[in-house]
Chains A and B, each alone.
Chain A
Amino acid sequence: MSKPEIKMTVNGQKRELYIEPWRTLLDVLREDLNLTGVKLGCEGGECGGCTVLLNGAPVVSCMSLAADADGKEIITIEGISENDALHPLQEEFLRLSSFQCGYCAPGLVMSAKALLDETPNPTEAEIREAIAGNLCRCTAYVNIVKAIKLVASQGRP
């Protein structure tokens, strides 16, 4: 069985992988690259826990084939800040207690980053729309929305 070579940049590092064409991006990121910040929640594109940025756009990696990422740039939660520093979104999620179990948090941060990269001054409605695909069962999104608003108002995504 042939495993085509796939080249992609993951969190700034060039990767060359030989993977079966039917494998999802989620599987490859978690299992081959040990990027377990990409969360498996439903494998049906429903919960948003596995959201990553593919050439800057948010995608649910459980619904993307790894092969389709050939030649593209991927950023996961592990790659949005340098070294041990937290990204401003992560900082405000921490400070405002925007998470509880934390399982949805990586996906939410990635969706929020994609929004702020595109729309630096979103309205609350735009924020809510941008994260509507990320399910959180521990909260009612109160402090999540607040944290994203705050980062936007500081102009430092």
Chain B
Amino acid sequence: MEENFILGKSPLNIDGPEKLSGRAKYAIDMVLPGMVHGKVLRSPHAHAEIVNIDSSQAEALPGVCAVVTGEDLPVLEDLPGDRPTLAQGRVRYVGDAVAAVAAETLDIAEQALSLIEVTYKELPAVFDPEESIKEDTVRIHASSKGPDGEEMPPNVCHYYKVRNGNMEKGFEEADFIVENRFTTGMAQTCPMEPHAALAQVDIYGNVVAWSNTQTAYSVKTKLARLLEVPSHKVRVVVPPHIGGGFGSKTRIKSEGIAAVLSKACLKPVKVVCTREEVFSDTTVKHPFVIYIKDGVKKDGTLVAREIKEILDAGAYTEGTVGAYVTRNSAYGAVGVYSTPNFKLDNYRIYTNKPVGGAFRGFGVAQTTWAVESQMDILAEVLKMEPIEFRLKNMLKDGDLNPEGYKMHAVGSRQSLLKAAEDIEWGKAPKNGTNGNGNGSVVRGKGIAVGCKHFSIQSSSAALRIAEDESLEIRSSVTDIGQGSRTIMAQIAAEEFNIPLEKVRLVTVDTDVTPYDTGQSGSSTTFKAGHAVRLACKDAKRKLFERASEALEARADDLETKGGKIYVKGSPEKEIRIGELFKRIPINGPGFDHGPFLEEGADIIGDATFYPANETNPQGEALPMVGFSYCSQACEVEIDTATGRIKILKFVSILDPGKPLNTEMVKGQIEGGVGTGIGTALMEEMQFSSDGRLTNGNLTDYRIPTSLDFPEGDNIILDIVETDYQNGPYGAKGIGEVVLCATAATIASAIYNATGVRIKDMPLTPERVAQALAEHASNGH
């Protein structure tokens, strides 16, 4: 195969100098003349009827431009139980938005909020999803319909199931049956740039919203419905730089409040979430309860697996995202192991808590926590080496997984073996010596495999060739830090064989850049990479048709490199792209416009990429186009007196298909290790008994700092390539898989060190110390 020109190498992030110099403008930095500030009044109750809202005093306060409540807005439900922009008749969690104020200063807006009098009638609330699903529990939403209008059990908003084989037969064949219950905590994505939007509505109902969203077009659609205008009147602009997203900037967030306030006062309104609002009012990582029952034969064959997952939805559906999390979490159980008899039932259940949404991993991380912990437990029961047990049951190329999906480009085996090698699996850890004097310090090693499908989505792109031989990409891909702008530029540079500096990307603007489903589900490189590649092909076809006459060759026989077009096989027959653009002569014949490319004109190619659905043997479409894999291994030190865990070494080995930018792929692995360790060890949103978030800030809810990771070369981030035919230039989507196995890896190491298996995460010092103490008091 011919070597790539720039793909697979590691050009630097094209936005680096701007970001590092502090000159990059993020949505939060936007200002407009005459801009006013929006703030939101939030519910103090977990569940209550709104009896009355009196905003007359707030409206009378000098400097207040608008006060809006749910009564002013249309009743919109994309799906039953969807969250309104402002509460309509009922509040369903502490922090639910009740009223919004726009004022000349933030101080005035805050003062106005305190003048709004809301009369509530409190209702019983429910916080535990396993309580919420009981027949006699309070109903959080009036409708009991699911997304397709089907009748649902109490407080269930989404349901997904997988069936494969015969469970009864499977468990009969098994020599051992092992059942366990695992749980995970509620976490926040914590992007460093808070959610922010600036909206301007004019007298014709035209809406412009500048925002740091990950999904420009879904915000556009929702704003049109919220403001009751045709969607062509709505323009969403996303500055090229976004301070992180990780899922919680998908779907409409602060844009809705900014837009309804701007409609009310016809001034530009800016809304910036406080850090506490980012915690409680954007979306959170769903807490899961996972019941898993496995049957294995003595020889180590996994013959049956039955899973039930309870997803804590919080107060609303979060539109289609809630349904996707319910479904996608199932895929965490089907991508690695062959399971001839498999049954899964996932229930997403309302509680009076903040709303669950997309969080890097999309539900798969929670499932992997249970599945990989269970694989360790089964290996122990079978007295098998845990890696050997995993390899024995691993899906290979050509196998059907429990969903009926035919596996290809499976990198799980390679990544697991490489992780084992890098952690020196089988070699005992050195004895711990750094105790605090109160208890012994022990060390252990752990290992686990993660998989994540990348979701099937579509994207359009346009590619413009200019007379100065530069390229302009029009794509609605937002760059939340993953580097997609650089990747898209690399693809165009590759297709035209030109330096990266000759490629630029237009700011995402729904008036200018075409449709894209948004940056979610590890989908961007796959779908938008294909779209940009195809748009380049289309533009090249048009370019070569233009050059065909001058080069006296068929367009099909032309190629381009370094700004030149040449005949394949006869590179001496060439013309520069710029020479195709002609200045109109001012004198003499030809002094007119004509059917040629004028100076300043352009050639535009475009394309829409729709992924081809792969099907199961019954011919049913499956919403997956492939799986990426990431195995992780670690060595940890546990202070058995305090329960504190120190990561001594961490290994993370990713199968990205073919990496398009190796350093950026490694950056994604590093980020996965960062958030993976944070959510495994320390991150958990906590609530009082009446549903108030008690740690909605970055002091009480800790995310990892530079002191929480091993020093020097003790973080190993590496790649094992697989031959993935369907990806653009062989690439898979990889943004989420990088953290799926982390928690199970660490729990495995804790078990290895102490003999204690912890089934609830995060693995906080309190939880670890308690588990160790219980273990000791049980006479172990």
B residues neighboring A (CB under 8 Å): 10, 12-13, 15-17, 19-26, 28-29, 189-194, 241-244, 246, 272, 274-275, 480-483, 663-664, 666-667, 670-671, 673-675, 677, 697-699, 703-707, 709, 711-712, 715, 717
Q: List 23 A-B contacts (CB under 8 A).
A: A37-B22, A39-B193, A39-B243, A46-B699, A47-B275, A95-B12, A100-B244, A100-B483, A100-B667, A101-B193, A102-B15, A102-B20, A102-B24, A102-B241, A131-B706, A132-B707, A134-B706, A135-B698, A137-B246, A137-B671, A138-B481, A138-B674, A141-B706
Q: Which of the listed residues A30, A102, A131 has the most CB atoms from chain B within 10 Å of its own CB?
A: A102
Asked whether any CB of chain B lies closer than 8 Å to the CB of A7, the reply is no
Known A37-B22, A44-B698, A47-B698; further 15 A-B contacts with Cβ < 8 A: A37-B21, A43-B275, A44-B699, A47-B192, A97-B666, A101-B191, A103-B193, A105-B20, A106-B22, A125-B711, A131-B705, A137-B190, A137-B191, A137-B244, A143-B670
Q: How many Å from the CB of A119 to the closest CB on chain B?
A: 16
Q: Is the CB of A99 within 8 A of B20?
A: yes
Please give, as numbers and ranges, the residues of chain A lying within 8 Å of B699 by CB-CB distance. Answer: 44, 46
Asked whether any CB of chain B lies closer than 8 Å to the CB of A25, the reply is no
| A124–B699 alpha-carbon span in the complex (Å) | 24
Known pairs A97-B663, A100-B671, A101-B242; A142 contacts B24 (CB<8 A): no
Please give, as numbers and ranges, the residues of chain B lying within 8 Å of A43 by CB-CB distance. Answer: 274-275
Q: Is the CB of A97 within 8 A of B667?
A: yes
Please give, as numbers and ranges, the residues of chain B lying within 8 Å of A39 by CB-CB distance. Answer: 192-193, 243
Q: Which of the listed residues B243, B666, B704, B715 has the most CB atoms from chain A within 10 Å of its own CB?
A: B243
Q: Which of the listed residues B16, B20, B663 has the most CB atoms from chain A within 10 Å of its own CB?
A: B20
Please give, as numbers and ranges, the residues of chain A lying within 8 Å of B21 by CB-CB distance. Answer: 37, 77-78, 81, 86, 90
Q: How many Å from the CB of A17 to the closest CB on chain B?
A: 17
Q: Is the CB of A103 within 8 A of B706?
A: no
Known pairs A43-B275, A132-B705; A139 contacts B22 (CB<8 A): no
| A142–B706 alpha-carbon span in the complex (Å) | 9
Known pairs A78-B22, A141-B709; A94 contacts B17 (CB<8 A): yes
Q: Is the CB of A124 within 8 A of B712?
A: yes
Q: Is the CB of A100 within 8 A of B481?
A: yes
| A105–B482 alpha-carbon span in the complex (Å) | 15
Closest-by-CB residue of B relative to A145 is B706
Q: Binding site of A, secondary structure by majority: helix, strand, loop or mixed?
A: loop
Please give, as numbers and ranges, the residues of chain B lying within 8 Å of A116 by CB-CB distance. Answer: none
Closest-by-CB residue of A relative to B678 is A137
Q: Top 6 A-B pairs ranked by shortest CB distance?
A: A37-B22, A101-B481, A102-B19, A103-B243, A77-B22, A100-B481
Partner of B706, one of A99, A106, A132: A132
Asked whether any CB of chain B lies closer than 8 Å to the CB of A66, the reply is no
| A151–B404 alpha-carbon span in the complex (Å) | 53
Please give, as numbers and ranges, the residues of chain B lying within 8 Å of A100 by CB-CB distance. Answer: 244, 481-483, 667, 671
Partner of B715, one of A40, A104, A140: A140
Q: How many Å from the CB of B281 to the closest CB on chain A?
A: 15
Q: How many Å from the CB of A125 to the closest CB on chain B?
A: 7
Closest-by-CB residue of A relative to B712 is A124
Please give, as numbers and ranges, the residues of chain B lying within 8 Å of A49 by CB-CB distance. Answer: 192
